[in-house]
Amino acid sequence: MKRIHCIQHVPFETPARIAVWAHDRGLETLPTRVFAGEPLPASGEIEALVVMGGPMGVHEVERFPWLVEEKRLIEAVIRDDKPVLGVCLGAQLIADVLGARVYRNRFHEIGWFRVEATAAGRAHARFPLRAEFVPFHWHGDTFELPAGAVQLARSAACEQQAFAWGDSVLGLQFHLEMDAEGVAALGAHCGADAGSGPYVQSLEEMLSAPQRFAAAHAFLDDLLDHWKKEERHEDPA
């Protein structure tokens, strides 16, 4: 893996730490900003694909017609057995492509909330998760576990927090990549839609503990190193 294509749905949900991780490992990040009308690449051009989040839903194809082509691309890259990572909306798009239902969650989950790895998630050979961790969340939708996928994590607010499909595809409902600037931007652009509830924090609460970002980034780096491994199809050098 030398290049990572990244689909960005809105200007305020960027790869953030994912781009830092890639740079530190000598990987090139190639963004496609669909909100700006940039064309999606052909699946054959992609070595690895990251699908970022966004406030739109997976079914809003009339408002966001590029979703149709994007889903086709995700499906093709998965079919080619190339690494795919979906974050928040990205995970929901992967679930949708794999035939799972995507729907409104019982709660909005917005802020820093504990996630618990399943037994399968703790023991997963490809994507091992910590038993408990506290990532950042900003979502109102969720999904059913796709057929053939392994549930990796859950939270009190949302049953499906992470899944693996084969050894190439990873879906994360939460955000490990976010930095303080990204959270502030989400608050500015989407704060009016956050609502209230038992799993909704204020923007002040979200930004009150900067050490949480460092912990999330360290966890993400480790997880991405596992996602990147190419030995899954090759003998170790």
Dump pLDDT digits (tens) for 182-216: 999 999 999 877 878 999 999 999 999 999 999 99
In a domain, 235, yes or no: no
Closest CA to 70 of 101, 49, 47, 100: 49
The catalytic residue among 9, 139, 175, 217 is 175
The catalytic residue among 137, 158, 177, 217 is 177
In a domain, 34, yes or no: yes
For the segment 9-62, what is each residue's pLDDT rounded down to a tens digit?
999 999 999 999 999 999 999 999 999 999 999 999 999 999 999 999 999 999
Does 23 participate in catalysis according to the annotation?
A: no
Does 177 participate in catalysis according to the annotation?
A: yes
Measured CA distances, 110 to 154, 175, 206 (Å): 15, 11, 9
Closest CA to 199 of 140, 129, 154, 144: 140
Number of domains in the chain: 1
Share of the chain above pLDDT 70, in %: 97
In a domain, 233, yes or no: no
The catalytic residue among 88, 137, 158, 217 is 88
State the DSSP string of 86-131: EETHHHHHHHHHTT--EEEEEEEEEEE--EEE-HHHHH-SSS---S
Mean of pLDDT values over 164-187 = 97
Model pTM above 0.85: yes
Q: List the domain range (segments joined by +) for residue 191.
A: 3-228
Does 60 participate in catalysis according to the annotation?
A: no
Q: Is the pLDDT of residue 235 over 90?
A: no
In a domain, 189, yes or no: yes
Q: Is the pLDDT of residue 234 over 80?
A: no
pLDDT recorded at residue 230: 64
CATH number of the structural domain spanning residue 201: 3.40.50.880
In a domain, 237, yes or no: no
- Per-residue confidence at 142, pLDDT binned at 50, 70, 90? very high
Q: CA-to-CA distance for 197 and 54, rounded, in angstroms?
A: 21
76 C-beta neighbours (distance < 10 Å), count? 16
In a domain, 125, yes or no: yes
pLDDT recorded at residue 191: 85
